[in-house]
């Protein structure tokens, strides 16, 4: 299969290539795509060196699938052109996520809604993916009324500039700033830009995307997104209020049985998810599950995932794997 990776030299694009290789995705020809400054560079994939090309060259080669992680503007302009050429685009930017004509997909939750008509498929925001992976099985069983989530997000979600800023601050060196403040020894309650309602775009993505993926506008979601000096993944403290009564043991079994979730929950031996151990893994890790003693039908939990993997690259590749399965 001819597969294009648009944004192949970026952080997510590099993880996409890693995941495609790890999962032996059936690629006969890779088309690595990047900006003009990278055109001509060589990228090695499965022992073969491929030359980086620009978008115009890539679209003319008519790949069956194109994984995009190159920003919203590139997706808005080029995803339709690839789709027009017969390519199925899986886009990691926010460009198409809330477009009512586009599917917003977490394979374990709603891949079955995909049809051959879907030529542009949206990959949800990283912090949304790990949240809905835990919410979905519980919503099906107990009905979720309201979710209050606080995120503790890795600087890799911002990109190379943020990683460089933290490294410079470790060394006490000045350099380009990805954030309005130092991130070393700090926590910045500001992910993406502020909106009119004084929430950030990241916080409203959690609200809007969660409703769309669960296909239930009645689920209330209130979010606070915080950036912390961590690289392994995003962590989330989540309070969920249900319609129905529940037992914690039943909640743990439901989560443990859900594909793509690993339960890490045994306070007796200090077992709970942490980004340092989630890094490089594809699962969503859930722990610290406990009744909310302040409310009869609510609980708290802690969710951690590698934001570059299940939060972006792995989810996109899993969508592509689903497309192959259904088109076989
Ligand atoms: C972030 N979720 O973490 C956003 C984009 N990757 O910054």
Burial class (CB within 10 angstroms; exposed 0-12, middle 13-18, buried 19+) of 291: middle
CA of 205, closest atom in ligand 1: 2
Beta strands 298-305; 284-291: pairing state: antiparallel
Contact 187, 225 (CB under 8 A): no
Ligand 1, pocket-test mutation among 127, 128, 189, most atoms within 8 A of CB: 127
- pLDDT of 328 reads 75
Superfamily of domain 127-307 in CATH is Dihydrodipicolinate Reductase; domain 2 (3.30.360.10)
> Which residue in 151, 110, 114 sits closest to 133, CA to CA?
110
**What are the Cα distances from residue 91, in Å, to 7, 74, 133?**
11, 10, 19
Is the CB of residue 191 below 6 angstroms from any atom belonging to ligand 1? yes
- pLDDT of 326 reads 83
Active site residues: 126, 234
Q: Strand, helix or coil at 268?
A: helix
- pLDDT of 121 reads 98
- pLDDT of 112 reads 96
- pLDDT of 72 reads 97
CATH 3.40.50.720 placement within the chain: 2-123+312-327
DSSP-H helix ranges across 111-179: 126-142, 160-170
At 298, give phi and psi (nearest 5°): -140, 155
Q: Whose CA is nearest to atom 6 of ligand 1?
A: 157
- pLDDT of 241 reads 99
What architecture does CATH give domain 2-123+312-327?
3-Layer(aba) Sandwich (3.40)
Is the CB of residue 273 below 6 angstroms from any atom belonging to ligand 1? no
CA of 156, closest atom in ligand 1: 3
pLDDT tens string for the chain (328 positions)?
999 999 999 999 999 999 999 999 999 999 999 999 999 999 999 999 999 999 999 999 999 999 999 999 999 999 999 999 999 999 999 999 999 999 999 999 999 999 999 999 999 999 999 999 999 999 999 999 999 999 999 999 999 999 999 999 999 999 999 999 999 999 999 999 999 999 999 999 999 999 999 999 999 999 999 999 999 999 999 999 999 999 999 999 999 999 999 999 999 999 999 999 999 999 999 999 999 999 999 999 999 999 999 999 999 999 999 999 887 7
- Angstrom distance (rounded) from CA 253 to CA 256: 5
**What are the Cα distances from residue 92, in Å, to 131, 150, 178, 193, 268?**
17, 22, 21, 18, 39
Q: Can you state the percent helix, strand and coil of the chain, rounding each to 5?
A: 35, 25, 40
Is the CB of residue 127 below 6 angstroms from any atom belonging to ligand 1? yes
Is the CB of residue 262 below 6 angstroms from any atom belonging to ligand 1? no
Tokens of 306: 């590698």
Residue with the two structure tokens 């890795």: 154
Q: Give the distance (Å) from ligand 1 centre to CA of residue 105.
A: 17
pTM above 0.90, yes or no: yes
CATH 3.30.360.10 placement within the chain: 127-307
Is the CB of residue 125 below 6 angstroms from any atom belonging to ligand 1? yes
């Amino acid at each position: 299969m001819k597969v294009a990776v648009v944004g192949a030299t970026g952080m997510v694009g590099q993880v996409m290539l890693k995941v495609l290789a790890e999962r032996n995705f059936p690629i006969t020809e890779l088309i690595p795509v990047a900006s003009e400054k990278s055109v001509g560079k060589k990228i090695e994939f499965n022992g073969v060196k491929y030359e980086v090309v620009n978008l115009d060259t890539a679209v003319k080669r008519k790949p069956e699938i194109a994984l995009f992680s190159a920003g919203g503007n590139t997706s808005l302009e080029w995803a339709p052109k690839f789709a027009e050429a017969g390519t199925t685009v899986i886009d990691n930017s926010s460009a198409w996520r809330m477009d009512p004509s586009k599917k917003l997909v977490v394979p374990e939750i709603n891949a079955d809604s995909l049809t051959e008509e879907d030529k542009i498929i949206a990959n949800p925001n990283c912090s949304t993916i790990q949240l809905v992976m835990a919410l979905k099985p519980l919503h099906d069983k107990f009905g979720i009324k309201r979710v209050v989530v606080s995120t503790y997000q890795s600087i890799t979600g911002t990109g190379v500039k943020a990683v460089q800023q933290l490294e410079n601050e470790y060394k006490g060196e000045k350099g380009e700033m990805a954030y309005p403040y130092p991130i070393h020894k700090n926590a910045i309650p500001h992910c993406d830009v502020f909106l009119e309602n004084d929430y950030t775009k990241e916080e409203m993505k959690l609200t809007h995307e969660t409703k769309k993926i669960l296909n239930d506008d009645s689920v209330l979601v209130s979010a606070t997104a915080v950036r912390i000096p961590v690289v392994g993944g995003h962590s989330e403290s989540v309070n969920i209020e249900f319609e129905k009564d529940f037992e914690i043991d039943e909640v743990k079994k439901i989560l443990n049985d859900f594909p793509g979730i690993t339960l890490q929950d045994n306070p007796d031996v200090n077992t709970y998810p942490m980004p340092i151990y989630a890094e490089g893994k594809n699962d969503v890790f859930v722990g610290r599950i406990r009744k909310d003693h302040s409310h009869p039908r609510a609980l708290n939990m802690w969710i951690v995932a590698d934001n570059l993997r299940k939060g972006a690259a792995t989810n996109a590749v899993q969508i592509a794997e689903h497309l192959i399965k259904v088109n076989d």
